[in-house]
Each structure stands twice: as structure tokens, then as C-alpha cells.
């Protein structure tokens, strides 16, 4: 039984990697410039363990309690943990102490708390600013015109590395990816450590080709890697 699921994990992952490679070839980009982030929310630790066994190292989680359980259960593996859900003020301590990356930062106060709560013996926490790039009412993220000032302020904080932007545009709004790349390039000059500004986290299973064509460096893929999600067991 185990070999079957292992092969399935490998098959799914290879299929997504092929998709990324083809998208890169179409726009003459090197596939090594696009990282695959496995969105593993709602999937049990064993499933992540199987994906790890076929080479996946970066996993993204949206729900803090669920993520903390998995991080504990999988601490024997060298996983790079990304928090990609909305960051609430009262949750920053756990995020600062247990994750490698936090993508959903949209206010200075959140970045300051993460900076203050990152432990001294830990490497700096990688963070991305989440931007509501196409003005959706339902979406978290700062406004595009706030990004310049946020980059200026957040990039000066200790214990964190400000790496880039994260966007989740409305379905099929591919123009938003182009807007995000333009914004990404435009605000780099405000970064106190511009060499750290290297990450544009955008694109998911359905639209990764368009995101890669626009300049994404990290695609967040769940369904195509793990199959459909079961939300019934979320704490």
C-alpha cells in the first residue's frame, strides 16, 4: 500500500514540476528561478511525509493550530515551513518562533511584532508583504499605494528578512500579476537590504502559467499536488 501512495505523490509532484518547466520555457526563464510551495492545509502529516520523501521541502500552511500540530509531528524532517494564511496580531508569537517564512504581512505592527518575537538564536524570519493587488473587498492585504512605505519601514527591522510580495488576485485576472511585478520592481529602491528583495509569491494550480510569465518566483500549489481538500477535520 505504501509504495502506491509514494508513487502517487511522486507522480503528482512531477506533473506540477513539468507544468512549471513548460511555463518557464514559454517565456525563456530558467525553471530553477521558480520555487514550488506545497500548500498542505487540511492534509494529514503522513501525506506531507510522503511528499517530503519524493523531494518536496517547502510546505505552506494556512491554519495556525493545524500547522503547529504538523510541525511537531514532522520535526524529524528538514522542512521549510511557510505560513500563508492571514496573520492576526494575537498569533504572531507562534509564527515568529516556529515558521521559516510568513507571507501574509500587511501592516507594520505585524512585522514589528514578528521582529520582536523572533528568538535570538534563530535565523531571521523571512517575510512577504501581502498586497490586495486588484482591490477585492473580500481579500486581506495592504493597498498597492501603501507598499512603498511598508518596504521602507519593514526592511529596517531586526530579526527578519523582507523578501518580497505575495498576491492572490481574483480568478483569471492575469493583468494583476503584471501589476504585481511592476510594483515589486518599483519599490525595491526603498529596501534597506535590496539584495534580500527576491521573492514574488503568486500563482496557484489554475493560473501558474500566467503568474510565471509575469515574473512569479514562487507558486503555491495544493490541489494539483495533494488532490481535493477535506475541510471536515479542521480544528
92 contacts 115 by C-beta, under 8 angstroms: no
Write the Ramachandran bin of 8: left for phi over 0, alpha for psi from -120 to 50, otherwise beta. Answer: alpha
3-class state of residue 23 by DSSP: helix
pLDDT tens, residue by residue, 154-170: 999 999 999 999 999 99
Please give the full DSSP string across 160-177, using - where no structure is assigned.
EEEEEEEE-PPTT-THHH
What is the phi-psi region of residue 140: left when phi exceeds 0, alpha when psi lies from -120 to 50, beta otherwise?
beta
Average pLDDT score over residue span 133-146: 91
User: Could you give the C-alpha distances from 208 to 16, 23, 161, in angstroms and in order?
Assistant: 10, 8, 25
Read off the pLDDT of residues 145-201 as tens digits, 9 standing for 90 and up: 999 999 999 999 999 999 999 999 999 999 999 999 999 999 999 999 999 999 999
Per CATH, domain 1-64+71-81+206-235 is 1.25.40.10: no
State pTM to two decimals: 0.94
- Cα–Cα dist 71/78, whole Å: 10
Residue with cell 518580497: 164
Greatest extent of the chain over all pairs of C-alpha atoms, in Å: 53
Range(s) of the chain covered by CATH 3.20.20.10: 1-64+71-81+206-235, 84-202
Residue 111 grid cell? 512585522
Q: Strands, DSSP E only, in 75-148?
A: 80-83, 101-105, 125-131
Q: What is the pLDDT of residue 7?
A: 83
pLDDT of residue 83: 98
Q: Give the chain's radius of gyration (CA, Å).
A: 17
What DSSP designation does 218 have? E
84-202 belongs to CATH 3.20.20.10: yes
Cα separation, 187 vs 228, whole angstroms: 37
Amino acid at each position: 500500500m505504501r509504495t502506491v501512495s509514494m508513487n502517487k505523490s511522486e507522480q503528482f509532484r512531477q506533473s506540477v514540476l513539468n507544468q512549471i518547466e513548460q511555463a518557464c520555457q514559454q517565456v525563456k526563464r530558467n525553471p530553477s528561478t521558480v520555487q514550488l510551495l506545497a500548500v498542505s492545509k487540511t492534509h494529514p502529516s503522513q501525506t506531507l511525509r510522503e511528499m517530503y520523501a519524493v523531494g518536496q521541502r517547502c510546505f505552506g500552511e494556512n491554519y495556525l493550530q493545524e500547522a503547529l500540530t504538523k510541525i511537531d509531528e514532522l520535526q524529524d524532517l528538514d522542512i521549510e515551513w511557510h505560513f500563508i494564511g492571514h496573520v492576526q496580531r494575537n498569533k504572531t508569537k507562534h509564527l515568529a518562533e516556529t515558521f521559516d517564512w510568513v507571507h501574509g504581512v500587511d501592516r507594520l505592527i505585524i512585522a514589528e511584532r514578528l521582529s520582536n518575537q523572533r528568538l535570538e538564536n534563530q535565523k531571521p524570519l523571512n517575510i512577504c508583504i501581502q498586497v490586495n493587488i486588484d482591490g477585492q473587498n473580500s481579500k486581506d492585504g495592504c493597498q498597492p499605494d501603501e507598499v512603498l512605505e511598508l518596504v521602507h519601514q519593514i526592511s529596517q527591522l531586526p530579526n527578519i528578512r523582507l523578501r518580497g510580495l505575495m498576491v492572490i488576485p481574483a480568478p483569471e485576472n492575469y493583468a494583476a500579476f503584471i501589476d504585481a511585478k511592476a510594483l515589486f520592481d518599483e519599490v525595491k529602491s526603498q529596501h534597506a537590504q535590496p539584495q534580500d528583495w527576491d521573492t514574488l509569491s503568486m500563482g496557484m494550480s489554475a493560473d501558474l502559467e500566467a503568474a510565471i510569465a509575469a515574473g512569479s518566483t514562487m507558486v503555491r500549489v495544493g490541489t494539483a499536488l495533494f488532490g481535493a481538500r477535506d475541510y471536515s477535520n479542521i480544528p
